[in-house]
Chain A
Amino acid sequence: MKRPEPLEIFQPASVEEASAIVKEKGPGGRFLAGGTDLIIAIKEKGLAPKYVVDLKRVPNLSGIREEADGSLTIRALTTMREVEISPLIRKRFPFLAQSAAEVGSIQIRNRATVGGNMANATPSADVAPSLLVLEARAKIASAGGERVLSLEEFFHGPGQTAMLPEEILTAIVIPPTHPKLVGEYIKFSPREMMDLAYVGVAIALVLNGKEKRCESVRIALGAVSPTPMRARKAEAVIEKQIFTEELAEKAGEEAAKECKPISDVRSSAEYRRAMVGTMTKRALLNAAAQRPGPVPWVERRERRY
């Protein structure tokens, strides 16, 4: 396997300093978080960054915190493994912990970061659909100040985000959620966590009363469009209706229509579209059947197929 070429590494002690380095050095540099995308791109795709800005020496850029208003802050350098095993996330959003557990091996998840994964904007990123259904926001900083975008506006295309070269994603913020919110993430991938998603489907659902009227529903899809996407037409099928299996099926059909998959080495566009229909229905039924709370891995895995 190819080795990295000699490069310059900067280890700034603040976000402002990191941003100033990129401003000064100009194009051709890369930020480094866990390195599980960057080092592979260097080795496999011939990426040759002129310089690398390692963000791991910046204080206060990792960790998960519940704020007084009930919102949840996941700082950018928090690892996938930390999200997967966080008692707070497992309790409030077990499907988000599940989606983090779907990213590569434990060795990879001990390095891969949520911020790095979002900033690389891979359409198949497993945590992206879960964060989209939670209407997460991206906190972006530079030497010039801070701004906040919805994660939906943050993604622009494969590898493309709303960030300027000198901007740094510092945190993902999940706004306060309904106490009865339940959710699900299904990664469809024959090799499970060791391969990218062929299709990813996340659901966040609030059902009211015995009749199961849908107070709100969010559906998001991964790996079937240039960016992770909300399936709003599918949501509209269920919103404010009494939840039934028939409606879940109809929502699946809508999701299959509104996604924009491509054919690649993993599967054809037609197959992905068909699987979006099936997986969306299944994810909706799974979400509706569970109560909020942690669910063991094995049980979740069995529910997938």
Chain B
Amino acid sequence: MMMKIRITLNGKSISLEVPAHRLLLDLLRDEIGLTGTKEGCGTGDCGACTVFLNGKPVNSCLILSGELDGAEIVTIEGLKIGPELHPIQKAFIQDGGVQCGYCTSGMLMMSKALLDENLNPTEEEIRFALSGNLCRCTGYAKIVQAVQDAAAELRRMRAEG
């Protein structure tokens, strides 16, 4: 069954005709060409496919295109601020929070979700927020460090207005 949907994707409104059963993940990667969002497990355990749907982080591998009419979606491609990388992205690079990189877009989106709500998270809160994001390079220590550094930078930016 084909469906006409209108969505806002990374700030731009677009109209699409899509098969209702197409996963949001496949819609993004294969039809729209935004390949930054990754598929890990396909069952909502690993978080590699995390995107924002109506302002909230979700697993795009568990959502059908037919559910999306009117939705607002932000992917990793929409994270940077103008031409600049987001402070979270910069912190992951600076701290070595990226190893093979496959989990990274999901980690970044989930870190953004956390820092949008809490600019001063404890290590415990960071690990809690990232419970649904698996890194098989076993690099969590540097990821947690990167989120802490990003939080410090975002606090500094807010203080300076």
Contacts and interface: CB of A to CB of B under 8 A. Distances in A.
Interface of A: 1-9, 11, 32, 35-36, 39-40, 43-44, 52, 54, 56, 81, 104-108, 110-111, 192-194, 297-298
Contact of A36 (B3, B44, B56): B44
11 contacts: A1-B42, A4-B21, A8-B1, A9-B20, A36-B59, A39-B23, A106-B113, A106-B132, A107-B59, A108-B132, A194-B131
Nearest to A191: B131
Interface in B89-133: 110, 113, 124, 128-129, 131-133
Contacts of B57: 106-107, 110
Interface stretch (B61-69, B142-150, B153-161): B61-69
Given A107-B50, A110-B57, A40 B1 contact: no
A8 B43 CA distance: 22
Contacts of A8: 1, 20
A130 B53 CA distance: 29
B67 A40 contact: no
Contacts of A5: 21
Main secondary structure of the interface of B (DSSP, over half): mixed
Given A7-B20, A106-B110, A35 B61 contact: no
A105 to B, nearest CB: 2
A4 B64 contact: yes
Nearest to B40: A1
Contacts of A193: 131
A6 B19 CA distance: 7
A107 B63 contact: no
State which size class the interface on B falls in: 20 to 34
Contacts of A104: 44, 132
Given A43-B42, A297-B128, A1 B61 contact: yes
B120 to A, nearest CB: 15
Contacts of B31: none
Give the most central of B43, B50, B58: most A CB within 10 Å: B58
A56 B43 contact: no
B41 interface: yes
A32 B68 CA distance: 13
The secondary structure that dominates the A interface is mixed
Interface string B19-44: 11101001000000000000101111
Contacts of A2: 42
B64 A9 contact: yes
A105 B131 contact: yes
B87 interface: no
Contacts of B61: 1, 39
B103 to A, nearest CB: 13
A73 to B, nearest CB: 22
Contacts of A4: 21, 23, 64
A25 B131 CA distance: 40
A270 B43 CA distance: 30
A52 B19 CA distance: 14
A107 B44 contact: yes
B67 A35 contact: yes
7 A-B pairs with the lowest CB-CB distances in the bound complex, closest first: A105-B132, A1-B42, A9-B66, A4-B21, A110-B56, A9-B20, A39-B62
A125 to B, nearest CB: 16
B124 A107 contact: no
Q: Which of B39, B42, B124 has the most CB of A within 10 A?
A: B42
Nearest to B128: A297
B69 to A, nearest CB: 8
A298 B67 CA distance: 36
Contact of B23 (A3, A6, A11, A54): A3
A298 B124 CA distance: 8
